[in-house]
Structure 1
Amino acid sequence: MDHPTFPPEFHTPGLNSFTSPYTGPPSGTVASITTAPTNPALPPLGQFNLLPPGSTGSHVVAESGDVVESTPDLELWRARLFYLEEPVILTPEEYDTYFPWIDNVYSHRTTQTYKRKSFRTLYYDCRMKGRPSGTPKSDDPNKKKRKRTARERDLCGVKIKITEYPAGFAAELKNTDGGISLDSGVLEEALARIGDGPFRVMQRIDSNGANGGGDGGPATHQHDLQTSDAIKKSKAHRQLAERQKEAKRTQKPSPWAPKGEAAATAKKHAKDAALKFYSACFCPFSQRVWIALEAKGLEYQYCETYPLSKPKPTPLLEANPRGLVPAIWQEGWACAESSVILEYLEDFNSTVPLYPTVPKLKANCRLWIDFINTRIVPSFSSVLAATEEVAKGRGMETLQRQISDLVQAADEKGPYFLGDHMCLVDIHLAPFALRISRLIPLQSLPSPTPRPRWRQWQDALEQNLHIRSTMSPDVLYTRSMDDLLKGLRGMSD
C-alpha cells in the first residue's frame, strides 16, 4: 500500500463518544400524601445484582465521599430500601454503595449503644414525619426575619432501624429472638455473602420500636419515592450534580459551533430527546451521522462537543469511554464509530431506507463503503497532513486514482452512487468530498479527478437538502483545519 490504513474515525486524545448527566429527581406524578403508593413487585433479594468483590460500583458515593461510576440495579435497590418489606442485610461496602442514594427519605433520630453488646442501633423516621423547629420564633419586631415555609408534620409514620454488627456476629441472624424474620433461602444467601465479616441490618419497626410486633405492624409510606426526591435530593445525587457542575465549570469551551444552515438545524434539535447525538461540527465523521439523522427524519438531540478538550466532557465519556465523536446515547445504550452508528440507524428506522433492498446491491454498497473508509479517507488525511511537496504529490496521485475507481463503480447516469437517490455510500463519502473541494486547494494542489461524472456527483451532494442542513460556511472548515489535522494525526498514533 502507498499509505498506511487508518481506522475510519478520529482517534485523537479526546475525539469519539457518553449516561446522561443527572438533571434532578426522577420524573413522574407525585403520589397523594394521604394515600399509600402501590408497592411495585420486586424480585427476591437474592436475584438483585450486588457489587462484585472488590468493586466500588457506578454513581456510588464511597466512604471517601467521592461519586464513582455504575451501581448495579440502582433503581431496584432504591425501591427495596424505600419500602423495606422485609429486613435487608448488607455488607459495609453494599451499605456505603446504596444507602447514600436513599438517605434523603429518612431522618436520623437517635443511636442506641449497649454496655454488654458490641453492636449499635440507629433509629430513623421518615423525613415526611417532620419535627418541631429547634429555634423558637422571635417576637422582636426589629429583628429581621427569614422567609420560611414550614412543611406540614406527621405526613408519614414510617420508622426504621439500622443495626450495625461487627465481624463474627453472623450467628446472631439465626437467633429468632433477635427480631430478624427472613425466609430461610434469603437468610442462607445473606450468610454466604457476609461470611464472618461485619454487616448491617435495615428493617421497618412499629411506633414502639418493635420489629412489627405492635398492633397493626410497622407503618407504610404514605407517599412515593419521587415525593421524597422532590423534597430533598440524596447525598449521592447532590455530590454527583456537584461533580458535574465542577467539571462543566473547568471544561474548556469549544472554539467551534455550527454556523449557517447547520446552526439552524442544531437549534431545531436542541431540546431533550431519547436519542442524543454527540457531534463536533468540524468533524467529517460526525457529519456522516448527522446527514443520516436528517435524511431519516428522526427525533434527536444535537449535542455539540469539543472532543479535543481536556478533561473530556462527562456526557461524551458516558456515551463513549474513549471520548471520541460521533457517539449516540439512547435510553441507557451507547454506540460509537460512524460506520457502526449508520448501520444501527438503518436497522432502527427503515421508513427511509438508505440501503437498496436487493441483497447483491446492498453487498456492493458495503464493499465500496469499506473502500471509502480504508482507502479514500486515509489518502485524504495524508494529503492534508503532508508537509513536504513530494509527499503531497504522491498522496494526491493516490487520492485521484482511488476516486476514479469509485466513480467507475458508480451508476453511469448518477447523480448519486446508485442513481437518483442518496444511499449510505454517498453519506460515507459526502463529508470528505465536500472538504476536498474546500481544503485541498489550500494545499496548493489541484482538485482530484476533474471528470464530468465526479463533478456531477459533487454538485448533487452540495445541493442535497439533508447534506446542506448539516453544512456550515466554508470559513469554519478552513479555520478549524488545525483541529481536523490533530484528529487525523491521532489516527496513526
Structure 2
Amino acid sequence: MYIQSAQANSSTAEASEQRPHGQLVSRIVVDPPDLQAWREKLFNVDDTIILTNDQFETYFPHIDNVYSHRSTQKYKRKPFISHYWDCRMKGRPPGTPKSDDPSKKKRKRSARERDLCDVKIKITEYFPGATILPGDGDASLSLVSPSVYQTSQQQMFNDGLPRPMDAPVNGERFWTIQRVNGNGGNGKGDGVAGPHKHSLAKSDEIKKSTVQRYIAAQEKEAKKIQKPLPRRMSGAALATAKKHSREHELKLYAACFCPFSQRVWIALEAKGMQYQYCETDPFKRPTQLLEANPRGLVPAIREGDWASGESAIILEYLEDHNQTVPLSPTDPRLKANCRLWIDHINARIVPAFFALARATDFAKQSEYAEKLQNEITALVQAANDRGPYFLGEDLCLVDVHFAPFVLRMSRILRELRNWGDPVPGTRWQQWADALEQNPHVQATTSQKELYIETLDLFLNSRQPHGEYFGS
C-alpha cells in the first residue's frame, strides 16, 4: 500500500521521462564526506538501503561503474519506478550490436570472460509524497509504522553512516537499493542472492565512475588550452576534399570543424554537383574569403563573379540552381512546413546546443540538456512517422540543417557534457541513426577528435554561434 501526492507524482514522472536512458543523477559532488564507506556499502548492498534524494545523487555516481543499467520498469498506478542494474562483470550477451560508423574512434577492447559475477540490484525511485507502509511486499524493509520516521535521533547504518528514515514522511523523493538476484552468489548455486565474486578494486579497474569520467573530462579541457588546436580534417572528409580540390567555377569556402560549413558541403554531395572545396581558416580572414563574403564568415560560395554567405541562403541558392536531386518538396504547403522547422532548428536547437556546449557546471549542463532535448522532441514530433528522415525516405533540407549538430551531439556533447544517446526504438533514434549512416553526411565528416579538440573555437567566441562562423 502506498500513500502519495498525485500532483507531485505526475510532475516527477514527467521529469523521469525526459531523462536520458539509464541516467538517474543530474549533478556531481566530487569529494563528499565518508566517500569510501559509502562506496563499500553501495557495492556490497548487504541489506536494503534507503537513501534520501540528496544522498543518492551525491554517492551513486561514485559507484555506478560497478553496475550496468539493463532495464527500467514504470507503473501506471504506483508512485515509484524500478531500475534494474547488473554487475558489469556479468558482461553483455553474445550478439550485442556494435556501431559500424567509420567516423567513430574504435576503442581498444580486451575480451573479458562473461558471467564472472551474477549480482543484480534493483534501484527503486519513490516519487515525492510516497510512503512505504505494511503490506508493500518488501520484507527486507523494516518500516512497520510511520512513527519510526519521527524519531528526533537520526538512525544509523551498522557502519555508522546515517540512515534517512525520515525521508518518506517529509514528502521528499527517496530511493531504495537492494540486491535482488545473485544467482547462486552464496556458493550453493541455488539462485539465492549472494555477494559479488570480486572486489570493489577490481570493478574500478574495469571502468571509471561518472565522477571519475567528469574529472578526467575537466582535466582534458584544461590541457587543451595549453596546446594549439588542430584544424585539419581527417577520415572520409579528407578523401572528399581531395576529390574536389581541382579548380572549378563553383567554389565552397569552408572550415572542416564548422557545422554551418558542413551543411552546404552535405547538400553539394547529395546533389552530386561539381565544385571546388577550399579549406579556409576564418580566423585569418584570407582575401578569397573576404571577396566572397565581406563579413569574413564561413561558409561562403563563389560562382564566377557572384558570391554569397550564410548557410541557409546558400542552400536555397543550390536548390534553385540544381534540381537534379531536389532537397525541397514541390508541394507549397509542405515546403512552407519545412521552412518553419528549419527556423526551429536555427532559432531554438542551435542556441540550445551551444548553451550546453559552453556549460561547465554540472547542474547547468543538466538544465541545458533538458532544454535541448525538449526542442529536439518538438522537431521529431513534427517529422514523418515512418521516417527515417524528416519527410520520410528521402533526405531534405531540414535533415541537412540538422545533421551537423546531430553528429556533434554524439561526438562532443556525449563525450564532454554527459549527453545521453537517443532511447532505443524511438523515432529520434531512427532519425539520428539515419543521419549518421547517410553516405553524403559520412563523406563530409572527420574523425571525432577534430570536433572535440576544436570545441574551444566556439566557446571562446563572442557571438552565440561563433564569431567567425555564419549560420
Larger radius of gyration: 1
**Structure-2-length-normalised TM-score:** 0.49
Higher relative contact order (CA 8 A, sep 6+): 1
Q: TM-score scaled by structure 1?
A: 0.47
